[in-house]
Structure 1
Amino acid sequence: MKLMSVDKIWDLADHNAFTDMVRFSDQLYCVFREGSTPVSDDGMLRVICSPDEGNTWESVALMQMSHADMRDGKLVVYQGALLLFGVGSFISRVKQERQSYVWRTTDGVSWSGPDEIARPNDWLWRLCVHNNVLWGISYLPKPKGYASLYKSIDGQHFTRVFKNLNKQGYVNESGLFFDEHDNAHCLLRRDPVWGPEETALLGSSKPPYQYWQWQELDKRVGGPVSFYYQGHHYGVVRLYDDKTRTSVVEIDEQSAEVTELFSLPSGGDNSYAGVVLDKGSLKVSYYSSHEGKAAIYFAEIDI
């Protein structure tokens, strides 16, 4: 792999962060959070679109709620529609701290929603499609929290099929994909918040995904996104050793080692990438504050 180009594509808000990206109707769509700070009452999800492979971008949607910090937008193409998933972190509610939502569009312009999905307080993270089924992993950010497995056959109604998928420490963000043999692979972040565990976990499972094997990896990661290419497990993650940075890594599922292939221009507050792997290249959206305030970047990598 070789880094070909990196461009800053958005920095209009005080803090621009937490990206994802997908190709829909032969255009690139990127979503990210805008706010005054990384955690603030004014968080909203902006969707931008590029008709020319990332050279130019324009805003096409802005999702916000007056009573919630909208966070962690994720994009998925499913059954002919573009779905946007996100979480509302409520400002004043006592019994419910957060809710996962979905928006839907068939033309990239007019959106329906938001519609509530998943159980209250379950933070549904990145979704992926396998055999026309949507799969995703949620987490409950509490001292006795856990990661759970969800599925949907219509993109609207989600069923929690495995509550205690993992609870080995503060487990949270995940990267999930399925290989050509229908095996599931999960890169699961951990942080030393309510316990000492901090290195990432790697999970694998065969259909019907009710029994998972887990192993501890050798590095701590943040904001993971995983992808599968030519029989290898890759990811774009935040690494913490020496200095925080956004890096493309390979994950050896036999040795449980995370190998950094190269880092993207990044530093400070950074990571949370989206990837599009097609047309002979790997396109990556991510955010970083190495040039000042947190901004959105677009990188193209020759594979």
Structure 2
Amino acid sequence: MKLISVTKIWDASPHNAFTDLVRFKQKLYCVFRQASAHVSPDGALRILCSDNEGKDWQSVALVETDFADLRDGKLVVEGEKLFLFAGAAIQQEEGRAMRSYCWQSHDGVNWAGPRALVKEREWLWRITPHKGHFYGIAYYCHEHDGYAALYKSDASTDFHPLVEKLSQAGYVNESGLVFDEADKAICLLRRDPLWQTDERALLGESEPPYTQWHWQTTNCRVGGPVTFLYQGKLYGVVRLYDGRVRTSLVAIDRQRAQIEELLSLPSGGDTSYAGVVLCDNILMVSYYSSHEGDCAIYFAKIAL
């Protein structure tokens, strides 16, 4: 594993964070949240486009609402459509309430929506297309009744729950979900020590129809996970917390549930939430970091 290049591609807002990356119609698209702070009511989703493999980027869209802080945009390609999924933090008298939304585009520039998804207060965090369906893990944050749930949808984004209580092993939340060549689903599930002490991530696997899962506890805490398969092996880009907080490429041993750091990207402080595009043996990564000052968006290329 070797870092080929890394460049800062956006720093125009006071806080730029929570990225994703896809290839759509021969171009790269990167989405991220721009706002005044890590948590603030003015979050909007900026979309950048590159037609030369990440050398140059142009802003092509800004998706925003007048009723919510938009967070953690995720891009998904399905046929000739580009989907944008995001969480919306809505300020109410009793506090902030989460709702999940979706937008659609044919060109990455003009967006139709938003459309509300799943249950109120559930955050549908990352979507994975597989065999004509969308799969995603939503989470509900609550000290006593919190959970992660597995959803399935067709391309019309009509989601229904496959497993309503996928996990309640502590504060389970963000996830990376992929499917291998044998159709097994593999989930890396983040945990945080809010109301329990074990902060180590969980690794789960399931065979079709994905209603029965086997879970293992990994060896470390992760944040903002995105996972991918390369030459039959499972990898991820995550935030690691041991020692200096950083964004790193990791290998994930599915049998032993062990996470091994392979390469640390230039990063630190407020960082992670990567998007990945795999092209032959080159991994392209979007992520954010505050190691050079304010939070900015970075684009890296890694030789696998």
TM-score by length of 2: 0.98
> Structure 1 vs Structure 2: percent identity of aligned residues?
56
Q: Partner amino acid for 2:243?
A: D
Structure 1: tracts of 5 or more residues without a match = none
CA drift at 1:160: 1.4
Tell me if the contact between 2:29 and 2:50 (Cα under 8 Å) persists in the aligned partners. yes
Tell me which residue corresponds to 1:76. Answer: 76
Which deviations, in whole Å up to 9, do the C-alpha atoms of 1:60-112 show, x marking residues without a partner?
A: 11111222111010000013200000011001254981111111011222211
Match of 1:278 in 2: 279
In the alignment, what sits opposite 1:167?
168
Deviation at 1:176, TM superposition (A): 0.3
Rounded to whole Å, the distance in 1 between the matches of 2:151 and 2:164 is 9
- Contact 2:134-2:157 within 8 A present in 1 as well: no
Please list, as runs of the form range in 1=range in 2, the aligned pairs for 1:97-116 lying within 5 A after superposition.
97-116=97-116
**1:239 counterpart residue number:** 240
Residue deviations 1:207-239 (CA, integer Å, cap 9, x gap) = 000100000000000000000111111000000
TM-superposed deviation, 1:191: 0.2
Structure 2: segments with no counterpart, 5+ residues? none
* 2:9 maps to 1:19: no
What is the deviation of 1:156?
2.3
**Cα 1:99/1:93, change in 2 over 3 Å:** farther
Whether the 8 Å contact between 1:78 and 1:155 is mirrored in structure 2 is no
**Pairing 1:180-199 to 2, within 5 Å after superposition:** 180-199=181-200
Change in 2 beyond 3 A, CA 1:96/1:18: closer
Report the secondary structure of 1:91's partner residue.
strand
Q: Greater CA deviation, 264-273 or 76-85?
A: 76-85
> AA paired with 2:197?
P
Rounded Cα–Cα distance in structure 2 between residues aligned with 1:292 and 1:95: 30
Q: Does structure 2 retain, via aligned residues, the 8 Å contact 1:134–1:155?
A: no
- Counterpart check, 1:222 vs 2:231: no
Give the whole-Å Cα distance in 1 for the aligned partners of 2:160 and 2:79: 18
Please, which moves more after superposition, 118-127 or 155-164?
Answer: 155-164
Distance 1:123 1:160, change over 3 A: same
Q: How far apart in 2 are the matches of 1:93 and 1:61?
A: 31
Inter-partner Cα distance in structure 1 for 2:110 and 2:269: 36
How many residues are matched?
303
Cα distance in 1 for partners of 2:230, 2:287 equals 20
Checking the alignment, whether the CA contact within 8 Å between 2:89 and 2:96 is kept in structure 1 is no
Q: In structure 2, what is the Cα distance between the partners aligned to 1:249 and 1:82?
A: 28
Please list the CA deviations of residues 144-171 of structure 1 after superposition, one character each: whole Å capped at 9, or x if unmatched.
Answer: 2000001111242111121100010000
**How far apart, CA to CA, are the structure 2 residues paired with 1:156 and 1:258?**
33
SS at structure 1 position matched to 2:55: coil
Give secondary structure in 2 for the equivalent of 1:97.
Answer: strand
Mapping of residues 134-173 of structure 1, within 5 Å = 134-143=134-143, 144-173=145-174
Query: 2:170·2:196 contact (CA, 8 Å) conserved in 1?
Result: yes
For residues 105-152 of structure 1, the C-alpha deviation after alignment (integer angstroms, 9 at most, x for no partner) is 112222110111111111001101111111000000111200000111
Q: CA RMSD in A?
A: 1.1
Asked whether the equivalents of residues 18 and 73 of structure 2 are also in contact (C-alpha less than 8 Å), the reply is yes
TM-score (normalised: structure 1): 0.98
SS at 1:20's partner residue? Answer: strand
Inter-CA distance 157–276: structure 2 relative to 1 (3 Å threshold):
same
Q: 1:20 is aligned with what amino acid?
A: D
Q: CA deviation at 1:52?
A: 0.7
State how far apart, in whole Å, the 1-side matches of 2:205 and 2:39 are.
32
Amino acid at match of 1:129: P
Q: Matches of 2:199 and 2:109 in 1, distance apart? A: 41
Query: Cα gap change, 1:280/1:254 in structure 2, threshold over 3 Å: closer, same or farther?
Result: closer
Is the contact made by 2:283 and 2:301 (CA closer than 8 Å) also made in structure 1?
Answer: yes
Matches within 5 A, 1:246-285: 246-285=247-286
1:292-303 pair list within 5 angstroms: 292-303=293-304
Aligned 8 A contact 2:162 2:210 in 1: no
Q: What letter corresponds to residue 193 of structure 1 in structure 2?
A: L
